[in-house]
Amino acid sequence: MKIIGTGSALPKKVVTNDMLTEFFDTSDEWIRTRTGIETRRIITDESLLELAITASNRALEASGLKAQDLDYIICSNVNNNYVYPSMSCMVQGAIGATCPCFDIRIACAGFVYAMDLADSFLKTGRATRILVLAAEEPTRFCNWAQRETSVLFGDGAAAAIVEDSDGYMGARMTTTSNTEVLFQRKRLEPTPFEVEGKYLDHPMVMNGREVFRMAVSSCSSEISSLLNDAGYKVEDIKFFILHQANLRIIKGIEQYLGGIPEQYPTTVQKYGNTSSASIPILLDELVRANKIERGDLIVMSGFGSGFTTGSLLMRY
């Protein structure tokens, strides 16, 4: 599998740390030192679907393909205001594609899982060109009365178009059923038979310290074994494109693996944690800044609710 086009789209509203001090007891200093985040983009009058469509059209344009050339659309999306139909179905019609499409919901690791699925579709000949999309609005998961989570997130969408080649060197996926460390419960319609209180909704609950610890240990060991098995060293990798959740998590993984800071590019400072969109947003920025060249080895690695992690190694 190789990437032949990327695109991204972010909301226009820039929210600084200082702006958040209006809503709860926090500070620019706390947010910067604990997370590295300085600003984030938050959806206002645009919709997540519009961002997803723009990101997909930009990826198509970069690839030189038409929407009709796509054989599949796979979209990573945790939440939007439709339970169904899927985000990928809505994007498909809007961009003028007619291929089958489906969504996956694997939280922040979703883009890596979607890329790995895309590779198996390409390898087995079930598709020749796939749009892999991530569209996320995590600012709508949070309880905005709570500073612990609301300061961390931003919204955004990004896409990559992939086609078959021998550049994909595999992936490692880990799922540990630790469902209490990070979850959100959605309201279900009541039935006359409902047991009261059983199906309550609840905004995001997170044990930040535990997520931090699991993220650093799981991603570090996953990437290490991926490189070992493929016979590569850290210095062979141009970029480790890691889920942008917290600068300290990225630094923790860098410390474990080694290498130089330039191999660990970041966008978390300006966009915050955009869930599964963070990896393709960063990828698109690197591509558009001409920082990645054909043949460069890249690693993508994400982690999130589940607890789920996924890491892949490929040539750009």
Name the closest residue to ligand UT7 (Cβ).
208
How many residues comprise the chain? Answer: 316
Q: What is the dihedral of CA 131, 155, 294, 96, to 10 degrees?
A: 30
**Active-site residue (options: 75, 108, 142, 219):** 108
**Min. distance of Cβ 193 from ligand UT7 in angstroms?**
35
Q: Min. distance of Cβ 79 from ligand UT7 in angstroms?
A: 13
Helix ranges, the chain (H): 17-20, 28-35, 48-63, 87-95, 110-123, 147-150, 208-230, 247-257, 268-271, 278-288
Q: What angle do CA 264, 270, 274 make, to 5 degrees?
A: 80
Q: Which of 57, 80, 246, 273 is catalytic?
A: 273
Nearer to ligand UT7, 95 or 268 (CB): 268
Tell me the DSSP string of 96-149.
Answer: T--S-EEEE--GGGHHHHHHHHHHHHHHTTS-SEEEEEEEE-GGGTS-TT-HHH
CB of 83 to ligand UT7, least distance (A): 22
What does the alpha-carbon distance between residue 50 and residue 52 come to, in Å, rounded to a whole number? 5
Minimum CB separation from ligand UT7 for residue 107, in Å?
A: 7
We find the least distance from the C-beta atom of residue 20 to ligand UT7, in angstroms, to be 8
Give the integer Cα–Cα distance in Å for 75 and 4: 17
- Select 147 or 238, whichever has its Cβ closest to ligand UT7: 147
Choose between 111 and 168: whose C-beta lies nearer to ligand UT7.
Answer: 111
Contact 49, 91 (CB under 8 A): yes
| Residue number, 132 or 219, with CB nearest to ligand UT7 | 219
Applying CB under 6 A, which residues contact ligand UT7? 26, 30, 34-35, 108, 147-148, 151, 206, 208-209, 211-212, 245-246, 273, 304
Tokens of 112: 């890596």
- Residue type (1 letter), 175: T
Nearest CB to ligand UT7, comparing residues 57 and 309: 309
Give the Cβ contact number of residue 209 at 10 Å.
9
The one catalytic residue in 57, 80, 243, 246 is 243
Instruction: Name which of 136 and 284 has its Cβ closer to ligand UT7.
Output: 136
Burial class (CB in 10 A: 0-12, 13-18, 19+), 71: middle
The nearest distance, CB 13 to ligand UT7, in angstroms, is 19
> Active site includes 75?
no
Look up 273 and say whether it is catalytic: yes
Q: What is the dihedral of CA 62, 63, 65, 71, to 10 degrees?
A: -130
Query: Which residues make Cβ contacts (< 8 Å) with residue 92, sequence separation at least 6?
Result: 73, 98, 99, 101
The catalytic residue positions are 108, 243, 273
